[in-house]
Chains A and B, each alone.
Chain A
Amino acid sequence: MKGSLIILSFFAMGLLLGIFRWIPDSWGNADISFYVLCALMFSVGFSIGQQPDTVKQFKRLPLRILFLPLTTIVGTLLGVVTIAFFFKHRVFDLLAVGSGFGYYSLSSVLITQCKGVELGTIALLANIIREILTLLFAPLMVRYFGNLSPIAAGGATTMDTTFPIIIRTAGKEFSIVSIYSGFVLDFCVPFLVTLFCSI
């Protein structure tokens, strides 16, 4: 929660500086953020490459639980499709937004790069809201939708920001599932977002 507030305040700070033009125009140039994005993707890849042991641990999980990231992806996309016709954006644009699975920093930047600031802002807000919904409603989700549901709701955030609330509400025995699901979805975000942006 604290982490997302800090991130939001960085966004808000940039927003204010941009609105009041207290910063040179070149800072709002998409090229700079592209270079920083490449550096970020390299670092994210690096941290994945550093933990081959995590990949081995996943092999011990019950077979059907391995499908959790898949049901999360399908459920998310179907959910987005049902509301897409209320809005002026194309279905695929909103599917790209939904494919952030709560990973707002990465998805918003990727979407800004290929679809512009407007959709990028929607991606940022939608994915932050998804994380907040998970943090707030995890106990209710467990009660009405079963123990796997907060892990599904948390999407790509379940190995870091929403991890504590998940093991508190679903139980410690779900910690490996939570890390597994977050890991897989983290990995899928750049691919799905890029895919839906290019359709």
Chain B
Amino acid sequence: MFTVLLFMFAGIASGYLFRKRKIRFINGLILTLIWALLFLLGVEVGMNDVVVRNFASLGLEAAVVAIAATLGSVVGAKLLWGSIKKNKE
């Protein structure tokens, strides 16, 4: 998994080296790679019978995690916002 991070750092370094030349197609490339990966993830999921059979319960778990994560972060933002406003007064 750390290979992946190495690739990111190599990317940052070369992006920085080429910062004078705006490489416009990079965002299109990122999007295309994301599409390819999600397509491949779909194939991998589809071929996994256990996951396919439990798709509904995985979806429910995902929804609960998403709601909890969002609520937690929003409460954090409220506390921070409160402290910023207090600081201004």
Q: Which residues of A contact B (CB under 8 A)?
A: 6-7, 10-21, 23, 25, 27-30, 32-33, 36-52, 62, 64-65, 67-68, 71-72, 74-80, 82-83, 86-87, 89, 94, 97-98, 101, 105, 108-110, 112-114, 117-118, 120-127, 129-130, 133-134, 141, 144-149, 151-153, 155, 190-191, 194, 197-198
Contacts and interface: CB of A to CB of B under 8 A. Distances in A.
Nearest to A25: B47
Interface in B51-80: 51-52, 54-55, 58-59, 61-80
B73 A155 contact: yes
16 contacts: A11-B38, A17-B42, A42-B14, A45-B11, A46-B18, A52-B19, A71-B79, A78-B72, A79-B71, A94-B65, A98-B69, A105-B37, A118-B58, A148-B80, A153-B73, A153-B77
A117 B45 contact: yes
Contact of B39 (A14, A38, A44, A82): A14
A126 B34 contact: no
Contacts of A23: 43
Given A149-B81, A190-B8, A113 B1 contact: yes
A138 B26 CA distance: 30
Nearest to A48: B12
Contacts of A148: 77-78, 80-81
Contact of A117 (B10, B51, B59, B68): B51
Contacts of B44: 14, 18, 28-30, 33, 112, 117, 120
Contact of B42 (A18, A32, A113, A147): A18
B38 A36 contact: no
A28 B47 contact: yes
Contacts of A14: 38-46
B50 A118 contact: yes
Contact of A7 (B15, B34, B50, B62): B34
Contacts of B76: 71-72, 74-76, 152
Given A68-B80, A117-B45, A42 B68 contact: no
A83 B68 CA distance: 7
A173 B63 CA distance: 32
B70 A134 contact: yes
A191 B40 CA distance: 23
A126 B69 contact: yes
